[in-house]
Amino acid sequence: MRLIDRYLLRELATAFGGVTLVLLLVTIGGTLTITLDRIARGKMPAALLLSQIGLRSLEAIALLLPLGVFLAVILAYGRLYRDSEMAVVSASGITARGLLKPVAWLAVPVAVLVGALALWLAPAALAQSDRMIDAANRSLLVVGMEPGRFIEMPGRNGVVYVAEMAPDGGSFTRLFVHEEHDGRVDITTAERGELYTDRDGQERYLRLEQGFRVEGEIGKPDFRTMRFGRNDIQLPESAADPDRALEKRAETASLWRSADAPDHAELHWRIGLPLSCLALALLAVPLSRAQPREPRYGKVLLAVLSYVAYSNVLALGRAWLAQGSLPPVAGLWWAHALVFVAGAWLLLGGDRRRPRRA
């Protein structure tokens, strides 16, 4: 590698590190907000906070790395243009196409990493996240209940107390539950019970045996008291992901063998992520051209708009594939081809010599 290539690669790597760090913090912050909201509503055990953030961030990292490469090239090469360093580089005989070599040294390894995340690691992480939540919802220990302590019920206005609990958290003895809703008080006691889920594994219930239940409004004589042999109390629903389809958890090999349109859309989406990293890197080289006195972040706005348009086209094509409006053969290749062609055309146009004006 030439000295000038090492210098350019160092500038690109520094910009990529800074941009990726900022994007990663924003992504983790968004994931943290969503996870805390689900914990507050009782849809996820608080003990799984850190593990869920780490597992669910892998999918977002696969999306932000291509954007990180795109913005890194824009910022690094744009600074060189504004500081007139590119004039020295051009005087040494390096054309616009010669600037692709340092970009390739950065973009190709990142594209390989994005491919590994999109094709294998992210789906496996989402599947592992679901398994951890399902296992946690079958244990009162992970949900937050501890023997001998009054615990606030997650997602409900009430407290619960158990005297003793099995080591696996599945059964307990001597339970007390106090709830308030719509101005009414509901108190339930039981000698023993256990935690179970329905056939679909979505709803959780406390099965109470040999207990009492008192319900009514404080200050009014309309209290009701009953003795029961068995009483089931529904807990907050388990943490299902309505905005995430099952094909996102599926292995890439199973998507390849599937004949369903949503699986084809997911497969083309995963394959397209590393391609988008290379396409954006190619497009960023001509977009980074700037005049010495041009505002520093002038081209960044144009780059962000280009990325938004590209991502929207990909999302639209993915929806068409899932609905069957596009044949599986077409996939998302046409969207990536448009960016590759646009980047190559702009890059070749920069190498053309313009006639000097008198």
Tens digits of residue pLDDT in 266-287: 899 999 999 999 999 999 998 8
User: Helix, strand or coil for residue 218?
Assistant: coil
Burial-class residue 138 by CB neighbours within 10 Å (0-12, 13-18, 19+). Answer: middle
Q: What pLDDT score was predicted for residue 338?
A: 93
Q: Are residues 197 and 290 in the same domain?
A: no
- 303 lies in some domain: yes
- 48 lies in some domain: yes
Q: How far lies 175's CA from each of 136, 142, 144, 178, in Å?
A: 20, 17, 15, 10
Q: Are residues 297 and 324 in the same domain?
A: yes
The pLDDT of residue 334 is above 60? yes
Mean pLDDT of 18-31: 90
- 106 lies in some domain: yes
Q: Are residues 120 and 258 in the same domain?
A: yes
Q: Are residues 75 and 216 in the same domain?
A: no
Amino acid letter at 287? Answer: L
Dihedral over Cα of 59, 61, 62, 66: its sign? positive
pTM for this model (two decimals):
0.74
Q: Are residues 152 and 301 in the same domain?
A: no
Q: Are residues 7 and 132 in the same domain?
A: yes
- Within 13 Å, how many C-alpha atoms sit on residue 258's CB side? 17
- 100 lies in some domain: yes
Among 234, 266, 285, identify where a domain stops.
234
- ∠ CA 17-18-23, rounded to 5°: 100
Domain housing 159? 140-234
> What is the per-residue pLDDT across 207-229, written as a single tens digit (0 to 9) for each?
888 888 888 887 777 788 888 88
Which helix (H) or strand (E) element contains residue 212?
strand 204-216
Mean pLDDT of 115-138: 83
